[in-house]
Amino acid sequence: MELRRAVNPLALPLHTLVHNTDLPLDAEIRRYLRDVADHHTAVAERITDFDDALSSLINAALAKITVQQNTDMRKISAWVAVAAVPTMIAGIYGMNFEHMPELKTTWGYPVVLLFIFAVCGTLPALFHRNNWL
């Protein structure tokens, strides 16, 4: 940006010096100023090229960071889904309902625990297969 600020304001004075015939300048000096104007144009174009390349590199780096953040969020979401299952079941059992048939049976508690372990074991396997973990 400093180069752009230093180089771009010189374009109009150079153009004026080269093309204004009212100025009393020698032909040799005009030819030299034309050469300087050409060099100025080349430098201004290179600055624009560098600026475009730098912008492209910054955009590529931001895209890479965004992809990494999406991958991280997918992994976090998968583990939250695994933790949500036992939390939901514990929340239901924590309501102290009287009419829950599995509370009166001998195998109710072990069946619920097996269900929790089965779901919590199956979800990571599914997420791993889908490249979420």
Measured CA to CA, the distance from residue 79 to residue 87 in angstroms comes to 13
Residues 6+ apart with CB under 8 A from 124: 78, 82, 133
Contact 6, 14 (CB under 8 A): no
Measured CA to CA, the distance from residue 34 to residue 31 in angstroms comes to 5
Measured CA to CA, the distance from residue 60 to residue 66 in angstroms comes to 10
Measured CA to CA, the distance from residue 19 to residue 24 in angstroms comes to 12
With a cut of 80, say whether residue 23 has pLDDT above it. Answer: no
The whole-number pLDDT of residue 67 equals 94
With a cut of 90, say whether residue 34 has pLDDT above it. Answer: no
With a cut of 80, say whether residue 22 has pLDDT above it. Answer: no
Instruction: Indicate the average pLDDT of the chain.
Output: 87
